[in-house]
Amino acid sequence: MNPNLAQMLVRTARAYPDQAALYLGTEALCTFEQLADRVARCACGLRDWLGLHAGDRVALIMKNCPQYVELLYGIWHAGLCAVPINARLHPREIQGIMQDSGARLGFVADAEAEAVPGARTIVVGSTDYHALFAAHGMPVTDVAEDALAWLFYTSGTTGKPKGVMLSHRNLTAMSRAYASAVTRVVPGDSLIHAAPMSHGSGLYVVPHIAEGASQVIPPSGGFNVAELAGLVAAHQRPSFFAAPTMLNRLVEYARRTRADFSNLKAVVCGGAPLYVEDEIAAIECVGPRIAQIYGQGESPMTITAQPPHEIARAYAVGDLKALASVGRTLPGVEIRIADADDRALPVGEIGEVLVRGPTVMQGYWNNPEASAATLRNGWLHTGDVGCLDEQGQLTLKDRSKDTIISGGSNIYPREVEDALLAHAAVAEVSVLGRSHPVWGEEVVAVVVLKAGMRMTRSELDQWCLHRIARFKRPKAYLFVEALPKNSNGKVLKTALRELLAQGGEQANARTWRWQLA
Ligand code: AMP
């Protein structure tokens, strides 16, 4: 059997040819039969007109748009690998990913056309774009189970973006796990893409296309809470993925406007900690329709999950422990809580979360050292810390310590540190997250300047603007004489966190001189 993900669309188009496949807002754009036809033509255009070969990488650098779906499936249908890239990244970051992945082609929206000078690009909606669909279709390309479907770029803590290699088998396993343990998808359901399709939301396309659910693209191309509420009311049994900060904004909106969410099937929340009080507020606002997932690019969407009925039951009986957990492992996925030597720890003990199963990535693209370190001893090392209870529920205690999650986006301190360290006046820097009522966390940079140098917050801000995405820029700077370090010379971020918790600026940074001495 051909494990190509595009087979799922072919199957759905045969079973439900007249079902609406794609909406832009409330406007139906095509049926599943029409979508499958366009996808087969697109695949033919990519292979015959553009001369791409099986395994070639094709980048998608667009905010959410209806074409995302036909391109993703066209790429798979042709046996190629998609490289979805967050269009909000800095052009330098986009170029870095294009180069690292060796993408032979990139699809861009008008606004991003300038972002990738030197790369071969096609602007969505252009004459070239339409020409891509001129050919007759072709059968779905046979691929091996481990053939790459999606290179998922996530910045490592080393700061250099790493391409997580996800195969057709990985995404098929992810899709099955979702449908059996998160929500059961039925034909005529809909999926609203309010979160970026280059990241979380795009993966949800797979289980929903497999079962004949429509994809709904908000005209804004992203998250606008009023627009989202309108789309929920207009569509049939809608679900959507939301980072916790998005859920909180939805709750705030629902309280203010008394918007009706009775139509909603599920909000699938994940990507960052969902605090119990926020979870309860959400249930009280939108009803027993909240699901939670815990996953990471390296095992997308699928390490553990809590379906809506389990969260609703925990809420009904006041089981705060269950509400604070991220649920149980998905079918076919195994987790182990391990000590530093990968030995399994007993129930209740806290250790690193390790994962094994068909959803676990093939490794990092062109990065055997990082792959070996993360996939050692046959287990994916998530970098997350947690514990299991007797019922198999996982509670996360901390995430990979240094990652900052601001507004649902991951920001890796090292990358920001690297940008700041490139400045001639900066001697040392450490970047960390400080809790923020709206964004979850905000980026703070603790900076040591070179002797005799002076620097202002706005000068460093300007410097960052030219080097990294806007959302990764520090929102506050703290200038100190020295950074606290352990005997190996590693910066003690815990000490810095304490300093920030105490109000930072008032603390006596000279203490660290004593520690260094
Ligand atoms: P990413 O690879 O960008 O999807 O980020 C994955 C990381 O987000 C995980 O390793 C966790 O640290 C964190 N994460 C994902 N889901 C949850 C969740 N439900 N609760 C807490 N943290 C989560």
Q: What is the 3-state secondary structure (H, E, C) of 76-113?
A: HHCCCEEEECCCCCCHHHHHHHHHHHCCCEEEECHHHH
Max intra-chain CA distance, the chain: 74
* 272 CA from centroid of ligand 1 (Å): 5
CA dihedral (13, 18, 21, 23) in degrees, to 10, reads 170
Confidence at residue 517, expressed as pLDDT on a 0 to 100 scale: 25
* 14 CA from centroid of ligand 1 (Å): 36
Classify each residue of 179-190 as buried b or exposed e, where b means 16 or more C-beta atoms within 10 Å of its C-beta.
bebbbebeeebb
> Closest ligand 1 atom, CA of 410?
3
- Which tens digit of pLDDT belongs to each residue from 416-425? 887 898 899 9
Confidence at residue 278, expressed as pLDDT on a 0 to 100 scale: 85
Average pLDDT over the chain, rounded to whole? 90
* 327 CA from centroid of ligand 1 (Å): 13
- Ligand 1 in reach of 273 Cβ (< 6 A): yes
The helix or strand, by DSSP H or E, that contains position 497, with its residue range, turns out to be: helix 493-501
Which of 27, 29, 34 lies closest to 12, judged by CA?
34
Enumerate domains of the chain plus CATH numbers: 6-394 (3.40.50.12780), 403-511 (3.30.300.30)
Of 95-104, 271-280, 327-336, the least confident = 271-280
Has residue 494 got a pLDDT over 60?
yes
Interatomic CA distance for residues 26 and 41, integer angstroms: 26
> Closest ligand 1 atom, CA of 405?
8
Confidence at residue 402, expressed as pLDDT on a 0 to 100 scale: 76
Q: What count of other Cβ atoms lies within 10 Å of the Cβ of residue 317?
A: 9
Confidence of residue 411 (pLDDT cuts 50, 70, 90): confident
Average pLDDT over residues 244-255: 89
- Ligand 1 in reach of 408 Cβ (< 6 A): no
- Ligand 1 in reach of 270 Cβ (< 6 A): yes
Confidence of residue 504 (pLDDT cuts 50, 70, 90): low
* 207 CA from centroid of ligand 1 (Å): 20
- Ligand 1 in reach of 326 Cβ (< 6 A): yes
Has residue 329 got a pLDDT over 60?
yes
- Which tens digit of pLDDT belongs to each residue from 204-244? 999 999 999 999 999 999 999 999 999 999 999 999 999 88
Average pLDDT over residues 81-101: 91
Give the closest residue (by CA) to ligand 1 atom 11. Answer: 399
Q: Which of 154, 330, 353, 396 to mutate to test the pocket of ligand 1 (most atoms within 8 A of CB)?
A: 396
Confidence at residue 157, expressed as pLDDT on a 0 to 100 scale: 38
* 408 CA from centroid of ligand 1 (Å): 9
- Ligand 1 in reach of 296 Cβ (< 6 A): yes
Give the closest residue (by CA) to ligand 1 atom 23. Answer: 272
Reported pTM: 0.83
Strand 238-242 versus strand 409-411 pairing type: unpaired
> Closest ligand 1 atom, CA of 326?
19
The helix or strand, by DSSP H or E, that contains position 309, with its residue range, turns out to be: helix 308-316
Confidence at residue 69, expressed as pLDDT on a 0 to 100 scale: 98
Hey, is 124 helix, strand or coil?
Answer: coil
Confidence at residue 516, expressed as pLDDT on a 0 to 100 scale: 32
Has residue 52 got a pLDDT over 90?
yes
> Closest ligand 1 atom, CA of 292?
19
Give the closest residue (by CA) to ligand 1 atom 4. Answer: 296
Confidence at residue 506, expressed as pLDDT on a 0 to 100 scale: 45
Has residue 315 got a pLDDT over 50?
yes
Average pLDDT over residues 485-502: 72
Confidence of residue 514 (pLDDT cuts 50, 70, 90): very low
Hey, is 5 helix, strand or coil?
Answer: coil
- Ligand 1 in reach of 154 Cβ (< 6 A): yes
- Ligand 1 in reach of 299 Cβ (< 6 A): no
- Which tens digit of pLDDT belongs to each residue from 336-373? 999 889 999 999 998 899 999 999 999 999 999 999 99
- Ligand 1 in reach of 294 Cβ (< 6 A): yes
- Ligand 1 in reach of 400 Cβ (< 6 A): yes
The owner of tokens 């990471």 is 296
Confidence at residue 17, expressed as pLDDT on a 0 to 100 scale: 98
* Total residue length of the chain: 517
Which of 255, 193, 184, 181 lies closest to 222, judged by CA?
193
Q: Which of 290, 294, 354, 364 to mutate to test the pocket of ligand 1 (most atoms within 8 A of CB)?
A: 294
Of 202-206, 246-250, 283-287, the least confident = 246-250
Has residue 378 got a pLDDT over 50?
yes
What's the first-to-final CA gap in the chain, in angstroms?
66
Confidence of residue 510 (pLDDT cuts 50, 70, 90): very low
Confidence at residue 115, expressed as pLDDT on a 0 to 100 scale: 67
Confidence at residue 511, expressed as pLDDT on a 0 to 100 scale: 42
Average pLDDT over residues 488-498: 73
One DSSP character per residue, 391-412 reads: T--EEEEE-STT-EEETTEEE-
**Nearest 5°: phi and psi at 308?**
-55, -40
- Ligand 1 in reach of 272 Cβ (< 6 A): yes
* 301 CA from centroid of ligand 1 (Å): 9
Has residue 193 got a pLDDT over 50?
yes
- Which tens digit of pLDDT belongs to each residue from 455-470? 999 999 999 999 899 9
Q: Pick the residue with more confidence: 118 or 29?
A: 29
* 225 CA from centroid of ligand 1 (Å): 23
Query: What are the distances in angstroms from CA 125 to CA 11, 33, 135?
Result: 27, 21, 17
Confidence of residue 97 (pLDDT cuts 50, 70, 90): very high
- Which tens digit of pLDDT belongs to each residue from 133-185? 998 999 999 999 999 999 999 854 345 689 999 999 999 999 999 999 999 99
Secondary-structure breakdown of the chain: helix, strand, coil percentages, each rounded to the nearest 5: 35, 25, 40
* 330 CA from centroid of ligand 1 (Å): 15
